[in-house]
Structure 1
Amino acid sequence: MIAIVELTKTMSIAAEIFQNDPDATAFLQMDGARTTYRDARRIVCSIALEARLHESGADDRIALLTPRGKDGVLAFLAVSTFAICCPLDPRLLDEELSAAISDLGIALIVDLTGEERISRIALAHGLDVRSVSVSDLKIRSEHELQLGNDLQHGDIALLLQTSGTTSKPKHVALTHANVLAAAASIGKSYEIGSSDICINPMPHHHVHGLISAGISSLLAGAAQFCAPSFTPAAFDEAFDRLRPTWFTGSPAFHLGLLDFYKTLERAPPQGSLRFMRSSSAPFPASAIGDYESLFGVPLLENYGMTETASTVCSNLLPTHLRKAGSVGVPIGAEVRIVDDAGEDVLAGTEGAILLRGASVITGYASGENGPEFFAQGWLRTGDVGHVDHDGFLFILGRTKELIKRGGHSVYPLEIDSSLLSHPDVAEAISFSIPHPTLGEELVAAIVVRAGSDLSGDDVRQFLKNRISTYKIPAAVLRVAAIPKSATGKTARRSMRDAFASELSTKGALAETETELVLLRIWREIVGSSTLGVTDNLFVHGADPIRAQRACLAIAEKLKCSLIAKDIIRNPTVRQQASILTRNHDIVVAVDT
């Protein structure tokens, strides 16, 4: 199903939005205050006049820094009407912010944060800063300024950086047409209308908060509450007061709510909500049932990218079929699955995912437009998946995230899903580390649910009958948190550094003669003098062939047997010594 929405051909995003009923509510506040579409238009005009945006050219790139809340959406409408809006995360460090300004070729900075450092950074780049305080703004008449009625849909509204799987950011230039097409498809597919209220907890420097929730609600003439910050308690208060009909967030956001209400041993108020939307990362399959039962409505998982101006596939409302593990059906784009030769594959066959549609870019503004990025007008997403006979898309992982573990190919997203199927696993991410013989070794990190004593070894045992042996991580780290971006996404390539300490050798000394003999055997086999009795041998150089070699050495030195399968299942010297001591009477003279 592809949602087709007719839009005016010669208007900006703001001009399209402000065709709505001027007396309808656009934004709600916790204190009961409401901002109508007429009010919103006046604020947008006032921001534009205060920042003198009408003096800018359509091709000027203007950096926008705003705190969370409705002002971020309104400031975007003001900037994008006159120039190219480049929203930046105000939480960036000075060096990161400076690098983004240089990389994007910024001509002017519009700042709504009031932070002194912004002026200092701008001065270093020779840029002007136009500071705007919306609370102190002199509200002007909406008739003082035309909001882009003469713009073309092909004009660029939004420029974002996306790093993908490389270190150099690519520039995604989204036109007014791209943004409007994406927002309209979301509104049509979710049947959003003037009676709807959305809680939007996401920041506005990414497409999730800005387009999927913000612009889609405004284009549909609906109301929204843009949360200035997120805590489960604040959400609960907003939910109780505002009685939303839908809300959206990352899986981390949703899982935080699930744990919050479980701790309170009560559910949120029932009756107003129609659906919930989850985006930015896969939602744990094991938690979907509990979460839907908690709120009493369906959770709609979806698929989109910065390059597609947000959602292009989604599970739909209950009158339509939904499938567990799928990101749904196309709602605003065409989807192709192709093989290595670029040929379409049969339904159910794994291949590369290509996209094309009104919201999808046809080239990167930074110049990466070769055949590795685009194929005859189709965007190469870098994702791997398949479409079933009913048209549902299933994502397996990223092409460039493919882990080559010896002779096996492993897609981390599949491993993540398997880890998350355990009821006590709240968050999970798998990733690779360098390995001397396999090339890469597969490891994972998990965050467990409150009160659980689940261990990494428990999880590996859980996976044994669910996925192939070569897909089971050599080590599963139990950690307090998995690092995420502001939108709840995890950068898989950064996990090695994030958990370097947990993965390093600890060098624990042997406490028994058996441990000492085993430690000497393994230190010689893997070539590590720092290896300790509690270190995971397979993280530090062991493999199935080396395990066989260790079996022979153990038989020679300790006069008893240990099979390779036991070594793989018990990957530390201490665990292996325990098995040997339990199963054999070991007498060995050890020179300490």
Structure 2
Amino acid sequence: MTATLSDLFAFHRNDGLAVGAPDRPWLTYAGLRELVGHTVTALHAAGVGKGDRVAIVLPNGPEMATAFVALAEGAVTAPLNPAYRLEEFEFYLSDLGAKAIVLAEGYDGPALVAANHLGLAVLRLGHDAADPAGSFTLRAESVAPGEPERATARPRDLALILHTSGTTSRPKIVPLRHGNLSASAHHIAGSLALTPHDRCLNMMPLFHIHGLVAAVSASLAAGASVWCAPGFDALKVFGWIEAARPTWYTAVPTMHQAILARAPRNAEVIERVPLRFIRSSSASLPAQVMEALSATFRAPVIEAYGMTEAAHQMTSNPLPPRPQKPGSVGVAAGPQVRIADEASDRLIEGTGEVVISGPNVTAGYEANKAANAKSFFEAEGERWFRTGDQGRFDAEGYLTITGRLKEIINRGGEKISPLEVDGVLMDHPAVLQVVTFALPHPKLGEEVAAAVVLREGMAADEAAIRAFCADRLAEFKVPRRVVLLDEIPKGATGKLQRIGLAEKLGLVSPA
């Protein structure tokens, strides 16, 4: 189905609940459609129109969610992490070619400094806490020069600009069209069987594709509701569940682990507010965590596989009665998903690079011929995107990711999947969290290391953990270093990051 973001909710019941938040009245679908119209008018008054790129720097919450869908009707959105430093704002605003920026009323931080330095139009977003969640007004503090193009969005128009993480190189620009986003929203809504009776509790940051599409856009596509928390706070999650009464939530594995840690003292809330399912994506969910979540909440845990270039979802574990397989990211759930040879442009059976093709997949990185030549190829009449992940399908069509190709540890020619080592370490009774990573070695090239967080009140030392692994792994896969930490460093979206971890932990000198 080819559509725009606003098409997703164009015909839902006027009085249907769309967006909620703590201590706020609900925004209805009629109110959301009205908000879109007012926002486009405000954009045009500020000299911003179709094709112009508008950076959004707002705190997490309902206004961030509605600003995304409303601004995309009249311009191209580019949400940015509010925690960026001045130099980062200057890089991203310049790199994406922003014409304007949306900031909260009263905000005077580094994003404003960068915007003024680059001569961007500044639009101030204001809201009243007594108004429905997500309601806002848009005021032009400064106006862009020229006459804006006043046409509203079409499916082939750009809706969203995001950057890749840039862990090992300069971040790449990922342009996503309305058609990409609406296709992905429908894929997710379909795979989760969402209906107007469903409600998502969103705790994911809304500068990230996971929250924008899986929580917000998929809910709107189904005529369901999304209740937007002001970010993730493990101490408040069960209070939010009580207040929002969701039927599901979506999060990254580190969030699920933090929620599990507080679940025993919140058993009554779990009983009072039963969830239909729990969704996990954006990083590998340890099988042990998946099983503990399902047992604790007495609900299926749906692990999905997504990335920015696919407008989020590629595969998903199915709902019951089909099984949810721990350690697997499920079956194709939207695009075509195949395995390709890692070194040549051909599709294969067995283990190799995961590739995708479909209406949700970006047409290509912006202004980056080298990256597009490396990432896209033609085979069997389709254009395929290389995900950079290694994986394999089982006999029932369930995909298992064996690792990021660039994270596979090469120990003197022996290839080791960090995810395999993670899985073994997570079986240790004292281990709460683990990240296996490459440690540079002068002769072997790379060696296996692991960062471990222990469960509260439990003890284990490096030797004991290595001995546990030695009984379960081939000798060359056993971590040579096990670093015990109170907390493993995380990225902005809560994901654990393997690349560069040796430097972050001070185990090697930075290059």
Q: TM-score, normalised by structure 1?
A: 0.78
Q: Distance in 2 between matches of 1:327 and 1:437?
A: 36
- Asked if 1:222 is matched to 2:199, the reply is no
Q: Distance in 1 between matches of 2:443 and 2:471?
A: 26
1:382-461 map, 5 Å: 382-461=388-467
Q: Deviations over 1:111-169 (max 9, x none)?
A: 136321233221111222111112287879xxxxxxx9853211110000003553200
1:188-587 map, 5 Å: 188-262=190-264, 268-270=270-272, 272-339=274-341, 340-346=343-349, 349-368=350-369, 369-376=371-378, 377-500=383-506, 503=507
Q: Deviations over 1:364-417 (max 9, x none)?
A: 113245432111110011110101111111101111222211131122222223
Give the CA deviation at 1:291: 1.6
**Where does residue 34 of structure 1 map in the other structure?**
26
Q: Distance in 1 between matches of 2:425 and 2:435?
A: 8
**Where does residue 109 of structure 1 map in the other structure?**
101
Give the CA deviation at 1:96: 1.4
**Where does residue 510 of structure 1 map in the other structure?**
none
Residue in structure 1 matching 2:80, options 71, 76, 88? 88
Higher relative contact order (CA 8 A, sep 6+): 2
**Where does residue 68 of structure 1 map in the other structure?**
60
**Worse-matched range after superposition: 69-78 or 106-115:** 106-115
CA contact 1:403–1:409 (8 Å) conserved in 2: yes
Letter in 2 for 1:203: P
Give the CA deviation at 1:56: 2.2
Q: Deviations over 1:60-104 (max 9, x none)?
A: 211111111111111111221112111001111122112211221
Q: Secondary structure of the equivalent of 1:232? A: coil
Q: Distance in 1 between matches of 2:351 and 2:168?
A: 24
Q: Deviations over 1:432-490 (max 9, x none)?
A: 22211111122110112222212232221111122211111101111111111232223
Greater helix fraction, Structure 1 or Structure 2: 1
Q: Distance in 2 between matches of 1:370 and 1:30?
A: 43
**Worse-matched range after superposition: 361-370 or 281-290:** 361-370
Give the CA deviation at 1:54: 7.3
Give the CA deviation at 1:418: 2.5
**Worse-matched range after superposition: 329-338 or 489-498:** 489-498
CA contact 2:279–2:303 (8 Å) conserved in 1: yes
**Where does residue 121 of structure 1 map in the other structure?**
114
Q: Distance in 1 between matches of 2:282 and 2:152?
A: 34
Give the CA deviation at 1:261: 1.8
CA contact 2:246–2:273 (8 Å) conserved in 1: no
Give the CA deviation at 1:242: 2.4
**Worse-matched range after superposition: 42-51 or 59-68:** 42-51
Q: Secondary structure of the equivalent of 1:131? A: strand
Greater strand fraction, Structure 1 or Structure 2: 2
**Where does residue 178 of structure 1 map in the other structure?**
180
* 1:232–1:443 distance in 2 versus 1, CA, 3 Å: same
**Where does residue 153 of structure 1 map in the other structure?**
155
Give the CA deviation at 1:52: 3.9
Matched-pair identity in %: 36
* 1:139–1:371 distance in 2 versus 1, CA, 3 Å: closer
Letter in 2 for 1:287: V
Give the CA deviation at 1:225: 0.6
CA contact 2:328–2:398 (8 Å) conserved in 1: yes
CA contact 1:362–1:378 (8 Å) conserved in 2: no
Q: Distance in 2 between matches of 1:467 and 1:245?
A: 40
Letter in 1 for 2:485: V
Runs of 4+ with >6 A deviation: 136-140
Letter in 2 for 1:115: Y
Q: Distance in 2 between matches of 1:138 and 1:270?
A: 33
Letter in 1 for 2:29: Y
**Where does residue 187 of structure 1 map in the other structure?**
189
Q: Distance in 1 between matches of 2:159 and 2:249?
A: 25
CA contact 2:61–2:229 (8 Å) conserved in 1: yes
* 1:464–1:284 distance in 2 versus 1, CA, 3 Å: same
Give the CA deviation at 1:224: 1.3
Q: Distance in 1 between matches of 2:122 and 2:288?
A: 48
Measured on the aligned residues, the alpha-carbon RMSD in Å equals 2.3
Give the CA deviation at 1:255: 0.7
CA contact 2:392–2:401 (8 Å) conserved in 1: yes
* 1:440–1:242 distance in 2 versus 1, CA, 3 Å: same
Q: Distance in 2 between matches of 1:239 and 1:269?
A: 11
Q: Distance in 1 between matches of 2:202 and 2:401?
A: 26
CA contact 2:241–2:273 (8 Å) conserved in 1: no
* 1:302–1:53 distance in 2 versus 1, CA, 3 Å: farther
CA contact 1:284–1:421 (8 Å) conserved in 2: no
Q: Distance in 1 between matches of 2:121 and 2:453?
A: 45
Q: Secondary structure of the equivalent of 1:372? A: helix
* 1:57–1:31 distance in 2 versus 1, CA, 3 Å: closer
CA contact 2:252–2:283 (8 Å) conserved in 1: yes
Q: Distance in 1 between matches of 2:77 and 2:442?
A: 47
Q: Distance in 2 between matches of 1:114 and 1:458?
A: 54
CA contact 1:42–1:139 (8 Å) conserved in 2: no
CA contact 2:55–2:80 (8 Å) conserved in 1: yes
* 1:272–1:263 distance in 2 versus 1, CA, 3 Å: closer
**Where does residue 132 of structure 1 map in the other structure?**
125
**Worse-matched range after superposition: 424-433 or 41-50:** 41-50
Q: Deviations over 1:525-568 (max 9, x none)?
A: xxxxxxxxxxxxxxxxxxxxxxxxxxxxxxxxxxxxxxxxxxxx
Q: Distance in 2 between matches of 1:178 and 1:211?
A: 10
Give the CA deviation at 1:263: 5.2
Q: Deviations over 1:304-356 (max 9, x none)?
A: 1000011110001111132221100001011111223333333xx21111111
Q: Distance in 2 between matches of 1:276 and 1:433?
A: 35
